[in-house]
C-alpha cells in the first residue's frame, strides 16, 4: 500500500512507520516537526514537512495514497488544561482539515491514533469500547470530538475509519524511542534517574485504593502499537463505510511502584523514589479491555511485559543518551537513507 502517516516523526508514528516499511509498504510522513524529530524518520520513508492546517501541502502529499494513519496531535493533559485553544486548533480543526483534504483527494481509508482519555474516569475496569465516554480534560475531549468527525465523514462520504484507543505507551525499537520536551511520562522519568540525570523519582500518591497504594496504568509496548496500526490499516480495506473503535491494552496494568521496581531490576541502579502528593486528575486505575481488537483485528501484544518495555526503553536511552538532539540536522539523522521530499521546508 501507499501510506501517508500524519505525525509520523513522533514516538508512536515513527515506530509505526518502521513497521510499515518492513512490511513492504511505501510510506510518506507528513509532520510539522513541532514535537517530532527529523532524525526519527526511518530509512526508506519519505518526509514532507508541513502542517495539517495547510490544505494544499496535504493535497499534494495525499496524491495516490491508499490509506492514512493520523498520529498528529497535542497529547499532554496538563498543557490541554492550560491552553485548550491549542488543543481545539490542532486536534479538532487540524483533524478536520485532514478529513477535508482526504475527501478532496478521494482517500477514504483512515486509522486514528486515539486515546483512552476519551473515557474520563471509568465506572468500571477493564474499560470496554461501549462504555460511557466523558472526558475530564480538553485533551480527551478534543480526541473524542475528532472521532465524532470521523464517524460523520464515514456516514456522509463513505470513509472506512478505525480509531484505536490506548493509555500508556512505553518501550522503543532500536532506532526510535521516547524523547519529549518537557518529559512528563513515568518510564522516561524513571530512566533519567537511573542514568544519573535526576536525583529521584517522584511517586504521585501512595494512598490510592490499589494493592500497593500507587496508581495502576495500562502500558503497551510501542512495537505492539505499531502492529495494531498495521492490522487496522489492512482492516479498512475490507470494511464497509463506518467508524470502528478498538481499545488496545494489556487488561491487567502495572502500578507506578512496579514500574520503578522493574527499572531497578533492568538497570541495576538504585533509583531513589519519594512519595509526594497526588497529581490532580489521576484516576486510581486505568485499564482497557482489548478483547475486541484481539477478536476482530487479530491483534495480540507480543512485547508488552513490563520487563521488556523498560529494558527496550533503557537500551534506546543508552544508545541515544541525548535523545535525538545529537542527530545531524541534514535530514538523514542516524538513519542514513531517509529522504526529505523536494520542496519540504
Ligand atoms: N507518575 C508518577 N511520577 C512521575 C510521572 C508519573 O508517579 O514522575 C504517575 C502518574 O501519576 C500516573 C502514572 O505515573 O499515575 C502514569 O503517568 P504518565 O504521566 O506517564 O501517563 P498518564 O497515565 O498520565 O498518561
Q: Where are the alpha helices (DSSP H) in 49-162?
A: 55-62, 77-82, 84-87, 95-105, 138-157
- If one counts every other C-beta atom within 10 angstroms of the C-beta of residue 240, the result is 8
Q: Are 7 and 50 in contact, with CB atoms under 8 Å apart? A: no
CA dihedral 340, 188, 169, 173 (to 10 degrees): 50
Q: Is the pLDDT of residue 114 over 50?
A: yes
Render pLDDT for 32-67 as a digit per residue (tens, 0 to 9): 999 999 999 999 999 999 999 999 999 999 999 999
Confidence of residue 340 (pLDDT cuts 50, 70, 90): low
Render pLDDT for 253-299 as a digit per residue (tens, 0 to 9): 999 999 999 999 999 999 999 999 998 878 899 999 999 999 999 99
Ligand 1, residue 259: give the atom nearest the CA.
14
pLDDT, residue 328, reads: 55
- pLDDT > 90: percent of the chain: 87
Q: Is the CB of 88 under 6 A from ligand 1?
A: no
Domains in the chain with CATH codes = 2-326 (3.40.50.720)
Strands (E), 218-281: 219-221, 242-248, 254-255, 273-276
Pocket residue to mutate for ligand 1, from 113, 122, 186, most atoms within 8 A of Cβ: 186
Mean pLDDT of 210-238: 97
Q: In terms of Cα–Cα distance, which of 124, 137, 77, 59 is closest to 284?
A: 124
Catalytic choice (112, 119, 139, 324): 139
Annotation marks residue 112 as catalytic: no
What is the spatial distance between Cα 338 and Cα 328, in angstroms, rounded to a whole number?
12
What is the spatial distance between Cα 58 and Cα 7, in angstroms, rounded to a whole number?
12
Q: Is the CB of 279 under 6 A from ligand 1?
A: yes
Q: Is the pLDDT of residue 337 over 60?
A: no
Least confident of 195-204, 249-258, 293-302: 249-258
* Cell numbers 491483534: residue: 299
- pLDDT > 70: percent of the chain: 94
pTM of the model: 0.94
Amino acid at each position: 500500500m501507499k501510506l501517508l502517516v500524519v505525525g509520523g516523526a513522533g514516538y508512536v508514528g515513527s515506530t509505526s512507520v518502521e513497521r510499515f516499511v518492513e512490511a513492504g509498504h511505501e510510506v510518506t510522513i507528513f509532520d510539522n516537526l513541532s514535537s517530532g524529530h527529523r532524525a526519527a524518520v526511518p530509512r526508506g520513508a519519505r518526509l514532507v514537512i508541513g502542517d495539517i492546517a495547510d490544505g494544499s501541502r496535504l493535497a499534494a502529499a495525499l496524491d495516490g495514497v491508499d490509506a492514512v494513519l493520523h498520529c498528529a496531535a497535542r497529547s499532554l493533559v496538563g498543557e490541554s488544561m492550560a491552553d485548550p485553544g491549542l488543543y481545539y486548533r490542532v486536534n479538532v480543526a487540524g483533524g478536520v482539515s485532514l478529513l477535508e483534504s482526504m475527501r478532496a483527494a478521494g482517500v477514504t481509508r483512515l486509522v486514528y491514533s486515539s486515546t483512552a482519555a476519551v473515557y474520563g474516569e471509568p465506572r468500571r475496569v477493564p474499560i470496554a469500547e461501549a462504555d460511557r465516554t466523558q472526558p475530564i480534560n480538553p485533551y480527551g475531549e478534543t480526541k473524542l470530538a475528532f472521532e465524532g468527525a470521523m464517524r460523520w465523514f464515514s456516514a456522509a462520504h463513505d470513509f472506512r475509519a478505525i480509531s484505536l484507543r490506548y493509555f500508556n505507551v512505553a518501550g522503543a525499537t532500536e532506532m526510535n524511542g521516547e524523547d519529549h520536551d518537557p518529559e512528563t511520562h513515568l518510564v522516561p522519568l524513571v530512566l533519567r534517574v537511573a542514568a544519573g540525570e535526576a536525583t529521584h523519582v517522584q511517586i504521585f500518591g501512595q494512598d490510592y485504593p490499589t494493592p500497593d497504594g500507587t496508581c495502576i496504568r495500562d502500558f503497551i509496548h510501542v512495537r505492539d502499537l505499531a502492529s495494531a496500526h498495521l492490522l487496522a490499516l489492512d482492516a479498512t480495506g475490507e470494511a464497509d463505510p463506518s467508524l470502528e473503535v478498538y481499545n488496545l491494552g494489556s487488561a491487567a496494568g502495572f502500578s507506578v511502584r512496579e514500574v520503578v521496581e522493574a527499572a531497578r531490576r533492568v538497570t541495576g541502579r538504585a533509583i531513589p523514589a519519594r512519595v509526594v502528593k497526588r497529581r490532580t486528575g489521576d484516576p486510581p486505575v486505568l485499564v482497557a479491555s482489548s478483547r475486541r481488537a484481539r477478536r476482530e483485528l487479530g491483534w495480540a501484544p507480543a512485547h508488552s511485559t513490563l520487563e521488556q518495555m523498560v529494558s527496550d526503553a533503557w537500551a534506546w536511552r543508552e544508545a541515544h543518551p541525548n535523545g535525538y538532539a545529537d542527530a545531524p540536522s541534514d535530514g538523514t539523522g542516524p538513519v542514513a537513507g531517509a529522504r526529505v521530499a523536494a520542496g519540504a521546508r
